[in-house]
Structure 1
């Protein structure tokens, strides 16, 4: 069936009922919170289950559960009106759950200033998640690590898990996945596939698109390590190829004073250089075809090679799905950043989110 199917559960994930053929929509971004909504008449027999405290919903499309999560809100109008059920995917819990300094100790025994994880991206993410899942006593586990990604270091001091882990997953090009089993949720990561071929104006991109190209913001990074005053340790990390290509020297500074004694400061420098890399991006909606179909030829987070105008780049795919009696089911693949530069409200929201992460970081020192 080429449409949404909504499976309703109670607060303990016990099956209640299923719904389909509704006016509905869903947004499926990689490494972010997926959302969906559906509309019911205000006298529908399903309302009791849908509006129960803690009600949950599995969102299915094309025969596969795309995500599962809580029914976050159910606004409505009446009389003889309707109710909209709004669903948030369970990845949201990474913003709701914190990484503690000593995950295995009581709150009054947080004897370390920070919990520091160092290693390849996948191993760091899974170690942080596993320790805090165990602390919370939730039925969430992580799959064994294949040690994919690049060498990173993250530090937790009551930070939301997502604040520290989502950026390093994005930087490594890894996609977080949640699998629901009889015993709980299994968290894993996957490497994205690349859709074969190159998308151009002739092969599926509409006329309207926007692109951006920006210069690097750092070509060499000075890392400030442990110590104070003249005793402080410093290390410089350079990207000689970037400086040669752009004919420019751009210095940046990153604070690593909370690293453990003997830590490799080059890890922090390389992370800062990655953040300061030149950017090439394109944002557009694509047209779904038999050779380019969600669930068959690509999944959320997979990569597509795009070549239009001066832009020749690889971008991640997200998906928007709408369903109505008038238009049927419409699937819109999207490439580019979630914060479409043409959408001022979305761009502002992301800037506020970044500011909030910075405030949370400062407030926990």
Structure 2
């Protein structure tokens, strides 16, 4: 069935109701909190299940469960009105749960400054989750580690897990997945982002209207300051010589890594800073569905597509918006674009505020 279907569970995971055909929408986002809404008449028999404390919802589309999460808000109007349910995907828990500096100890016995994880992005992600799932006593587990992704390091001192872990996964083209075994619980894994075959151009009829931007690099070489004080402090430099040659420019940056463990590879911090300051060439556009570009068949959210329009030639991740109503039926809007370099100033502001909030949380825990 080519429409949104909603399956309602109680807080313990027991099935309550399922239905389709409602006015509904879903935003499917990689490594972020996917959301959905659906609207029911205020006398619909599903309302008691939908509004029960702790009610949960699985969102299905084209025969596959796309995500599952909590019904966190249910605004309504009456009489003879309607109720709209808002669903947030369970990946939200990675922002709700923290990484403790000593997950095996009580909160009053945190006898070390930081808990540091290092290795490939997948390994760091799963080790940090496993230790803190165990601490919390929640029925969440992690799939076996395959060691995928770029080298990284994450240091926790009561930080939200997602703050430190998600950026490294995204940089490695790894996408978080959640599975729900029949026996209960949640299994967290990652999958590799697939590159959709071919190049999308205006001639293919897939890119719709678009806007783009090209931004030069903001850093080409980084000095990382490690442990020690004064003349005893450790310093290393990480350079992107190809970037300096391509752009004919040298831009220096500095990263403070004094809180790292003794013997840590602090060049990781330099490489991450170079990635953050890389030149950006982005296109913000919506994409039309065709037989060769179809959600659930040739791509899903988080996969990447090569787009060449105007002066921009770039590969970016895909996100998906789905709407369904009586007038328009089901409308699927895949989209791409690095939103921080798009023309959407509201999104730019939201991203800047999010980065600022992460920085404040980081400083507040030192």
Which of the five TM-score ranges fits, normalised by the shorter chain?
A: over 0.9
Question: What does residue 72 of structure 2 align with?
Answer: 72
SS at match of 2:180: strand
Contact conserved, 1:29 with 1:338, CA < 8 A, in 2?
A: no
Question: What does residue 10 of structure 2 align with?
Answer: 10
Are 1:220 and 2:221 counterparts?
A: yes
Structure 2-normalised TM-score? 0.98
- What's the CA shift string for 1:220-244, capped at 9, x where partnerless? 1000000112221111111111111
Q: Structure 2 matches for 1:120-199, cutoff 5 A?
A: 120-181=120-181, 182-199=183-200
Shift of 1:263: 1.3
Tell me, in whole angstroms, the C-alpha distance in 1 between the residues paired with 2:3 and 2:222.
50
Contact conserved, 1:100 with 1:132, CA < 8 A, in 2?
A: yes
Contact conserved, 1:71 with 1:87, CA < 8 A, in 2?
A: yes
Question: What does residue 248 of structure 1 align with?
Answer: 249
Shift of 1:205: 3.5
SS at match of 1:295: coil
- Structure 1: gaps spanning 5 or more residues: none
Q: Aligned-pair RMSD on alpha carbons?
A: 1.1
Are 1:202 and 2:203 counterparts?
A: yes
- What's the CA shift string for 1:128-158, capped at 9, x where partnerless? 0111111111111111111111111110000
Tell me, in whole angstroms, the C-alpha distance in 2 between the residues paired with 1:183 and 1:63.
21
SS at match of 1:154: strand
Are 1:284 and 2:285 counterparts?
A: yes
Structure 1-normalised TM-score? 0.98
- What's the CA shift string for 1:274-301, capped at 9, x where partnerless? 1111111111001011211100110111
Q: Structure 2 matches for 1:336-347, cutoff 5 A?
A: 336-338=337-339, 341-347=342-348
Q: Structure 2 matches for 1:24-35, cutoff 5 A?
A: 24-35=24-35
- Structure 2: gaps spanning 5 or more residues: none
SS at match of 2:87: strand
Tell me, in whole angstroms, the C-alpha distance in 1 between the residues paired with 2:208 and 2:318.
18
- 211-220 or 332-341, which moves further after superposition? 332-341
Contact conserved, 2:238 with 2:271, CA < 8 A, in 1?
A: yes
Shift of 1:304: 0.6
